[in-house]
Structure 1
Amino acid sequence: MGLKNLLGVALAFALVASGPTPAQASAPVTPPGTPQAAGTQFLSAATVDLAWMPAATGTNPIAAYEVYARRPGWTYPDQLLTTTTSAWVFVPIGGLRPATTYQLYVRARDTSGLPGPASAPVTITTLPSDIVPGPPVATDATATTATVSWRPPAVAIERIAGYDLIVPSATPTQPIQIRTSMGPSTTSAQLTGLRPGTTYTFIVVARYTDGTPRSAPSTHGTVTTAPSVPPSPPSDLTVTTFTPTSATLSWTASAPGDFPISRYYTYVNGGALGVPNPGPDVRTVTFAVSPGSTYEVYVRAVDQAGIYSAPSETFTFTAPGQ
């Protein structure tokens, strides 16, 4: 082979060797794992509370859980009922028809939109609408009280033994709370001891006399109490007494808002002071200090409804050295 041909072969080899490197194969993307249904509660004519265990995370974080329903024997596409970020809590699922059998399942979807496998289905049959009371509705609400009422089920009153107003449990391991029980002819309840500016969720369960299952609940209803005027912040913070190891803090009383003052909470360097919280007629606390250390203290009042004032102005001092 001549010198010219040898140079041509060498040049071609060099061009091939210096060409682009083939792209490395990307790692496979793993979808989220399979959620596991943990149970249901309070099946009504149109709703049910469903809980599930969280799915294992795949390559990307889980963005949401999707709850679907299919009706056995139907050829229609499965229905997306709700999308939520919750797991291991009871999620109210609506959009169901009375006296209808459904298979509910859950799947996780990650932040890239990739769905994971569907959970095993949970089969439910919603109740006939005539045995289910209407949801509780607030007819009057103050800062700490509310009157709620509901529509009775469309059955003869002789079949009704009474009603329970229930706070649904949040998780599968938390017990339900029966707020009050009423007789068969009473379809309203007066609630007391509520917190101002707070939304509560309730359901009404009808109890029957003829062997009908007790689980005949309404759909969820909410009650929101009125906001309350909080106490004013304590004022005039000062240290009145020093010892080598303690300081005594005093302040001027807060003005009550809608409710009387219950006690004062004191804080030092961003945390609780660690001493008993004085009642409304005591406006001084003594606490331990270290010589030469600097302290930032403030006080808040709380009233008998559990409403806190804004913090007082922060008072800063340095304990004297020994």
Structure 2
Amino acid sequence: MRRTPHLSALLAVTACTLTACAWGGGQDAKDVRPPAAPRGLTVQAGSATTAHVMWNRATDDTGVTGYDVYRGATRVKRVPGDKHMVDVVGLKPSTTYTFTVRARDAEGNIGPAGTKLTVTTPAAATADRKPPSRPGSPRGTVEGSRAVTLSWGASKDDQGVASYEIYQGTSKIHSVTGSEHRTLVTGLRPGTDYRFTVKALDAADNASPASRSVRLTTAAGRDDGRGTAPTDFRATTRRADGAYYIDLAWTPPDTGGAVAEYQIHLDGKSATSLVFGGTAPRKKATHSFYVGKKPGDTHRVKLRAKLPDGTWGGYSPERTVTTGR
């Protein structure tokens, strides 16, 4: 049967509709690939009824447009894609909660959940309406082009300080426990002037007046992040039970708190993640791992720390070791 040009065009359109093809080489094809899971999640109890949740930017082939924050299986916050922290309110005192974050793209694809973290809110103070005192004037040290270390004087409160909130201008950028008076702030821009202040918060959500401000200017250009890297890094080999191991020793970076997670690179590739359970070492850390049974193998090793805001710090100097020597 001979087909007319109009019939041929109609059949072509019908075929494309049935097979979900797109004109122009698939340029209008729908995005069905979800974003990756957000990494670097950190959770800090801000008071008896609040928690501060932070995470690193997730990746997506067309761009992340938002994040969903979950408390257990319940979504409690939805934030835009350019925001990577949020305060969750309405919690109960002396209660343990689990948080995780998922990323969304413009097509509504929701990525997998990232790491789950738990936090326990402190006990509530009875009829506490008195805020903590103003924190002592902060001091700061520039750690290269993208980080600064801040320290401040302790606040006083009749029921105890639950947390300290760090502000960059008028924006809250970080939170630490009430027992910490020092922290590392990362993710800054090179050659940029910043103004930081600190507020204290008690378990009843009473906030202190802001501290005096400290102005710091990050270094111009780019650096290798050595200001956030482990120091005094050493690597040696040993033989035990017919196999060779690499023994590592280092001083954790000074972040104002304990560093619980490290990433070890071996021969130019990520080899393993090291997570300290219980109390992480703050002055001297050690670790040993298996590398094989053959003598005379040469390896290059270095490591970096996960910082309090969930980002990775700079690498330690790389060390070269040879098994059997």
**TM-score normalised over the length of structure 1:** 0.38
By relative contact order (CA 8 Å, sep 6+), the higher-ranking structure is: 2
Structure with bigger gyration radius: 1
